[in-house]
């Protein structure tokens, strides 16, 4: 029989310490959740499937995502469905549907996204994003809150070699003037441009700044810069952010930074790391003040960002969790619920400890091997003798100088409480 395998670009993630990406993935997810809670963000969870039109109207028909990366299918009623390629459009659809599109809200989400890309390291067809969307507040303080969240994430994971690039795409007038000037500059060189860039020039000239074509990049060196079209207030935001937050993270103003999705206006940013290789951006976002209205809602000034969890998981080194690991080893001749009950009580006494019980019938040696794999500081061992005498063995695993001791169950509880 043919073997059934996971689909191209999709992977199973196991939190068993067997591969870097897998175990780091769950650690990153947990830590990011803690940061989101710390910033008092409210969680939102939208469906993974959406009406496909949501994305052509928001992410935009000139984007690579809508042009060639949407995972789509017809459902049983012949309705065109998309697996969501990102979270922002769904969040805005949801607040419009719930008539919450006049409220100030700070939302966050974590979940899988799909893009039909050519799989390579750091680029998958199913990947996960953790996102933040601050809704209902015009340009100003939310920009600082966003940069603060990003700096907290970079600092939490002690990421080195990374830069937060920031830019401002201007208000609609500045953006239009810049696009026209870019178009005027590039049109005489149309035959040098490739098909993709010609399409960008027609549909959304800003996206040309993101071209990977060497010839286009060379041409762009002499092209007009958005800097000359921006209001002084827009440049001030960039300079203020750089001034106030450079102490926490490396921040660079990059007037050529544009984003791959069409809904942005105003402040935009991306965090990149030289340790990531070709796919060097692990986080991106910006302001999108027109999106809600475009999707049929009210005027809702908004700003947001999303982190690629897999990319962040690749970036962090070996994790040393701050919580202590202890292994509970039961080696009795009969199945002994009493020993298990002791473990149950230990868990209630000190919730900061990660207590692992090996549930198999394996030998003491293999149970100790598992304890070492988990970096357990101690093994608490209960055998037949200990059950009869109401005692337990505490075996140190990380400190060779410490002796193994036998203690009463009462003393075991006090020991465990103090760990
Ligand atoms: P994005 O830049 O398209 O923005 O994606 C954000 C992050 O998702 C990227 O920086 C990257 O780390 C990760 N990512 C994207 N595609 C893949 C892939 N194929 N494989 C692995 N990771 C990937 C957005 O999605 C916007 N919704 C962000 C935003 C929120 N803007 C405003 N609010």
Distance 306 CA to ligand 1 centre (A): 6
Distance 200 CA to ligand 1 centre (A): 20
- Return the residue matching tokens 């799909």: 114
Whole-number Å distance between alpha carbons of 142 and 148: 10
pLDDT at 405: 96
Kindly report the protein residue whose alpha carbon is nearest to atom 16 of ligand 1.
123
pLDDT at 19: 57
Distance 129 CA to ligand 1 centre (A): 7
pLDDT at 361: 83
pLDDT at 112: 98
pLDDT tens figures, 43-91: 999 999 999 999 999 988 778 888 889 999 999 999 999 999 999 999 9
Structure tokens at 212: 């990977």
Question: Sign of the CA dihedral 175, 178, 182, 184?
Answer: positive
Q: Which residues of the chain have pLDDT under 50?
A: none
CA distances in angstroms from 304 to 9, 41, 80, 181, 396, listed in the order given: 26, 12, 27, 28, 48
pLDDT at 102: 93
Distance 60 CA to ligand 1 centre (A): 15
- Select from 149, 306, 315 the residue to mutate for testing ligand 1; criterion: most ligand atoms less than 8 Å from CB: 306
Kindly report the protein residue whose alpha carbon is nearest to atom 1 of ligand 1.
284
pLDDT at 17: 62
Burial tier of 365 (Cβ tally within 10 Å: 0-12, 13-18, 19+)? exposed
- Return the residue matching tokens 């993974």: 48
SS3 letters for 49-78? Answer: EEECHHHHHHCCCCCHHHHHHCEEEECCCC
Strand residues in 299-373 grouped as ranges (E): 302-308, 324-331, 353-357
Distance 319 CA to ligand 1 centre (A): 24
pLDDT at 399: 86
C-beta of residue 166 within 8 angstroms of C-beta of residue 269: yes
Distance 198 CA to ligand 1 centre (A): 25
> What is the β-pairing status of strands 353-357 and 324-331?
parallel
pLDDT tens figures, 204-251: 888 899 888 899 999 999 999 999 999 999 999 999 999 999 999 999
Kindly report the protein residue whose alpha carbon is nearest to atom 25 of ligand 1.
86
Pocket of ligand 1 (CB under 6 A): 86-88, 115, 117, 122-124, 127, 129, 131, 133, 260-261, 281-286, 288, 304-306, 308, 310-311
């Amino acid at each position: 029989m043919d073997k059934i395998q996971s689909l191209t670009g999709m992977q199973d993630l196991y939190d068993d310490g067997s591969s870097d990406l897998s175990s780091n993935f769950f650690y990153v997810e947990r830590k990011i959740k803690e940061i989101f809670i710390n910033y008092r963000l409210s969680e939102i969870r939208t469906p993974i499937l959406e009406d496909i039109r949501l994305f052509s109207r928001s992410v935009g028909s000139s984007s690579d995502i809508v042009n060639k990366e949407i995972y789509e299918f017809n459902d049983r009623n012949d309705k065109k469905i998309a697996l969501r390629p990102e979270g922002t459009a769904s969040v805005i659809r949801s607040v419009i549907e719930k008539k919450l599109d006049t409220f100030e809200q700070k939302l966050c989400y974590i979940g899988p996204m799909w893009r039909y890309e050519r799989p390579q390291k750091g680029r998958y067809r199913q990947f996960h994003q953790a996102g933040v969307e601050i809704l209902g507040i015009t340009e100003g303080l939310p920009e600082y809150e966003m940069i603060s969240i990003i700096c907290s994430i970079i600092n939490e994971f002690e990421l080195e070699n990374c830069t937060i690039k920031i830019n401002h795409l201007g208000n609609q007038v500045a953006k239009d003037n810049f696009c026209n000037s870019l178009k005027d500059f590039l049109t005489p060189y149309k035959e040098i441009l490739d098909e993709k860039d010609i399409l960008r020039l027609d549909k959304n000239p800003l996206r040309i700044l993101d071209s990977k074509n060497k010839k286009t990049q060379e041409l762009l060196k002499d092209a007009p810069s958005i800097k000359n079209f921006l209001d002084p207030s827009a440049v001030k935001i960039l300079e203020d952010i750089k001034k106030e937050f450079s102490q926490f993270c490396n921040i660079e103003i990059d007037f050529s930074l544009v984003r791959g999705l069409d809904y942005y206006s105003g402040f935009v940013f991306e965090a990149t790391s030289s340790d990531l290789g070709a796919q060097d951006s692990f986080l991106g976002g910006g302001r999108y003040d027109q999106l809600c209205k475009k999707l049929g809602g009210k005027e809702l000034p908004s700003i947001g960002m999303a982190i690629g969890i897999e990319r962040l998981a690749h970036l962090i080194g070996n994790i040393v969790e701050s919580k202590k690991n202890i292994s509970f080893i039961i080696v009795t001749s009969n199945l002994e619920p009493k020993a298990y009950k002791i473990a149950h009580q230990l868990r209630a006494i000190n919730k900061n400890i990660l207590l692992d019980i090996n549930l198999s019938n394996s030998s003491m040696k293999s149970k100790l091997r598992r304890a070492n794999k988990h970096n357990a500081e101690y093994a608490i061992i209960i055998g037949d003798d200990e059950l009869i005498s109401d005692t337990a063995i505490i075996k140190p695993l990380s400190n060779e100088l410490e002796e193994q001791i036998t203690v009463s169950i009462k003393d075991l509880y006090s020991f465990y409480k103090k760990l």
